[in-house]
Amino acid sequence: MNFFARLYYPLRKAWKAVGLYLVIAGPGIVVMVADNDAGGITTYAATGAKYGYHLIWFLLILIPVAYYVQEMTVRLGAVTKRGHAEAIFDGFGAFWGWFSLFDLTIVDWLTLVTEFVGMTAALAIFGLPPWITVVAVIVLMAVIVLNGRYWTFEKLALLFCALNLVYIPGAFLVHPSVRDILRDGLIPNFAGGFDGQLFFFLMANIGTTIAPWMLFFQQSAVVDKGMLEKDIPWGRFDTMLGSIITVVVAVFIVIVTGTVLPGVDIDSAAQAASELMKTDRYVGTFLAIGLFDAGLLGAICISLASSWAFGEIFGWAHSLNTKIRQAPWFYATYFFMLVTAGLVVLIPKAPLVLITLFVQVVAVTLLPAALVFLILLLNDKATMGERCNTMRQNLIGGFIVVSIIVLSTLYGFSVLFPSLFK
Amino acid sequence: MNTLRNLTAKFAAINARYREPRIEMSGAVRFSLLALRVYLLALVALMIYKFVLIVTQG
């Protein structure tokens, strides 16, 4: 009895902490899971099919990489109460501000098109025509954002994040060898030697882990949620949990395709799902549902990242806590991006492959700039005060930022000149 | 016409508001921004080169 009495208070304390976290939880998990968008799922599926379990260790390294970058946006947003676009305009002047906003708009719109490509391809597996998917997605996203409360949006987004975990039971269904996963996946190794193609895959995995829109989205979401400096530890925990979940999901996708489709060249996640349907209907179905969910989450966050950025700069009301009448331009931007991107997918013979490749190239022009601005803003003592980057954070963050810049630039080169890495 | 005028005025107001960078322009900041400009110019030059290659080679 005494034992239970002693256990009661720590348990109650822990339960309270979980309750508090569930209130604070959101931007970190949403942005990280949304990072596993349609393009990300394709990359992981292709990685598993090509290299089996051999690159799982590399995916695990991406947990701290994603965390350190996104954590900086939490601090910046909580301290300045400004979104990333506004912070760049304010910190570096109109030239860099317009450059970032213009680049963000192009990258976001093109990425939105790729999300629609993923979603229509995923539901086409179940026989649904693309136009029905596009209309249904737009209606669903309208329902999610037009309720006039950030909190409701966030909890609905978290629900879709939970659906992203569908790959975990999918992996168990294919009965992978745990011994092989531990032996091949957890010890750093380069299967078949380090060649240009492997380098391309490593770069693609990094490229899908940190995307420019993520910086803009999380910082604006932190502001819209009203997070304060005292909430930063929770924001950090949220971001860490999100980065773990996103990599765990990626690992399970690699396990699925590494087990069932070894040696198969995968061009898209939809192709992977169709291939899996032939061997196991349920696993193929899981992959297709996951792909649709990934595209949907990506689309929700990406279109919001742009609308928030425009609202911040043009001085429009730009909060999900406002109704459509109170923030017409904010919602108009959101739906303009969404509807036009959806329509592109419906155009017969639209150059969708070219758009997918172009996204990666244009993203390379924005990502280094956004990351450099992030580090510089986090070192601005006048604004950040005691939340300024420490020497240790600068060393870790600086190393990660330089590595990402170098690798994502090489990735952009490889897309422009594929023969370079063959 | 009025909308266009309003939009131009809006852009001008934004440019005026953010004319001067607020962040202190230390040596490290200046160097970072210069490196970024060079990087972006090189990247744009590379993209133009690729575009010319595509056009000339069909």
Q: How far apart are CA A216 and CA A304, in angstroms?
A: 9
Query: Is the Cβ of A409 closer than 8 Å to some Cβ of chain B?
Result: yes
Q: Which of A80, A82, A86, A95 to mutate to test the interface with B (most CBs of B within 10 A)?
A: A95
For residue A374, the distance in angstroms to the closest alpha carbon of chain B comes to 12
Q: With beta carbons less than 8 A apart as the criterion, state whether A173 and A282 touch.
A: yes
The identity of residue A177, as a single letter, is: S
Question: What pLDDT is stored for residue A89 in this prediction?
Answer: 93
Residues written for chain B:
58
For residue A86, the distance in angstroms to the closest alpha carbon of chain B comes to 10
For residue A52, the distance in angstroms to the closest alpha carbon of chain B comes to 34
Task: Tell me, letter by letter, the H, E, C secondary structure of A13-41.
Answer: HHHHHHHHHHHHCCHHHHHHHHHCCHHHH
Q: Is A157 inside any structural domain?
A: yes
Query: Is the Cβ of B43 closer than 8 Å to some Cβ of chain A?
Result: yes
Query: Is the Cβ of A329 closer than 8 Å to some Cβ of chain B?
Result: no
Q: pTM value? A: 0.88
Interface size A-B, in CB pairs within 8 Å, comes to: 51
Q: With beta carbons less than 8 A apart as the criterion, state whether A182 and A53 touch.
A: no
Query: Is the Cβ of A266 closer than 8 Å to some Cβ of chain B?
Result: no
Binned at pLDDT 50, 70 and 90, residue B45 comes out as confident
In sequence order, what are the residues at sequence separation of 6 or more whose Cβ sits closer than 8 angstroms to the Cβ of residue B19?
A93, A94
Q: With beta carbons less than 8 A apart as the criterion, state whether A4 and A132 touch.
A: no
Query: Is the Cβ of A180 closer than 8 Å to some Cβ of chain B?
Result: no
Q: Residue A94: which of B14, B23, B43 has the nearest Cβ? A: B14
Among A215, A209, A208, A210, smallest CA distance to A73 is for A215
The conformation of residue A333, written as its DSSP 8-state character, comes to H
Q: Is A2 inside any structural domain?
A: no
Q: Do A368 and B14 touch (CB under 8 A)?
A: no
In sequence order, what are the residues at sequence separation of 6 or more whose Cβ sits closer than 8 angstroms to the Cβ of residue A227?
A24, A27, A74, A77, A78, A235
Q: How far apart are CA A145 and CA A1, in angstroms?
A: 50
Query: Is the Cβ of B36 closer than 8 Å to some Cβ of chain A?
Result: yes
Whichever domain contains A136, its CATH number is 1.20.1740.10
Dihedral angle of Cα A391, A397, A400, A403, to the nearest 10 degrees: -70
Q: Residue B47: which of A94, A361, A380 has the nearest Cβ? A: A361
Q: Which of B38, B43, B53 to mutate to test the interface with A (most CBs of A within 10 A)?
A: B43
Q: Is A318 helix (H, G, I), strand (E, B) or coil?
A: coil
Give A313: exposed, middle or buried? Use CB within 10 Å, 0-12, 13-18, 19+.
buried
Tokens encoding A379:
């070192």
Question: What pLDDT is stored for residue A350 in this prediction?
Answer: 76
Q: How far apart are CA B15 and CA A300, in angstroms?
A: 30
CB atoms within 10 A of CB A351: 11
Q: Residue A416: which of B18, B33, B50 has the nearest Cβ? A: B50
Q: With beta carbons less than 8 A apart as the criterion, state whether A303 and A37 touch.
A: no
CB atoms within 10 A of CB A133: 23
Element (H, E) at A101: helix A94-124
Rounded alpha-carbon distances, angstroms, from residue A117 to A9, A74, A166, A205: 51, 31, 20, 20
- Overall number of domains in chain A: 1
**Rg of chain A taking only CA atoms, in angstroms:** 21
Q: Do B19 and A372 touch (CB under 8 A)?
A: no
Question: What pLDDT is stored for residue A211 in this prediction?
Answer: 85
Domain containing A327 equals 26-421
The identity of residue A47, as a single letter, is: T
For residue A361, the distance in angstroms to the closest alpha carbon of chain B comes to 9
Query: Is the Cβ of A417 closer than 8 Å to some Cβ of chain B?
Result: yes
CB atoms within 10 A of CB A14: 10
On the question of pLDDT at B57 being above 90, the answer is no
Q: Is A204 inside any structural domain?
A: yes
Tens-of-pLDDT digits for all 422 residues of chain A?
577 777 888 888 888 877 777 777 788 898 998 888 888 888 888 889 888 899 999 999 999 989 999 999 999 999 999 999 999 999 999 999 999 999 889 889 988 998 998 899 889 888 899 999 999 999 998 888 887 788 888 888 888 888 888 888 888 888 888 898 898 888 888 877 767 778 778 877 887 788 888 999 999 999 988 888 998 998 999 999 999 999 999 999 999 989 988 888 877 777 788 878 887 788 888 888 888 999 999 998 898 889 999 998 988 888 888 888 888 999 999 999 999 999 988 888 777 766 766 776 677 667 788 888 999 999 988 889 899 999 998 998 888 888 878 877 777 777 777 776 66
Q: Is A19 inside any structural domain?
A: no
Q: Is A343 inside any structural domain?
A: yes
Per-position b or e across A205-222, b if 16+ CB within 10 A of its CB: bbbbbbbbbbbbbbbbbb
Q: Is A9 inside any structural domain?
A: no
pLDDT tens figures, A201-245 = 887 788 778 888 899 999 999 998 888 899 899 899 999 999 999
Rounded alpha-carbon distances, angstroms, from residue A415 to A22, A252, A331, A420: 41, 26, 34, 9
Q: Is A163 inside any structural domain?
A: yes
Query: Is the Cβ of B24 closer than 8 Å to some Cβ of chain A?
Result: yes
Query: Is the Cβ of A361 closer than 8 Å to some Cβ of chain B?
Result: yes
Place of tokens 């999918």: A170
Q: Do A94 and B29 touch (CB under 8 A)?
A: no
Chain B residue numbers touching A369 (CB-CB < 8 A): 36, 40
DSSP string, A377-391: HHT-HHHHGGGSPPH
Most distant CA atoms of chain A, gap in Å: 73
Give B57: exposed, middle or buried? Use CB within 10 Å, 0-12, 13-18, 19+.
exposed
pLDDT tens figures, B7-40 = 888 889 999 999 888 888 888 889 988 988 888 8
Q: Is A7 inside any structural domain?
A: no
The identity of residue A45, as a single letter, is: A
Among A359, A329, A328, smallest CA distance to A341 is for A359
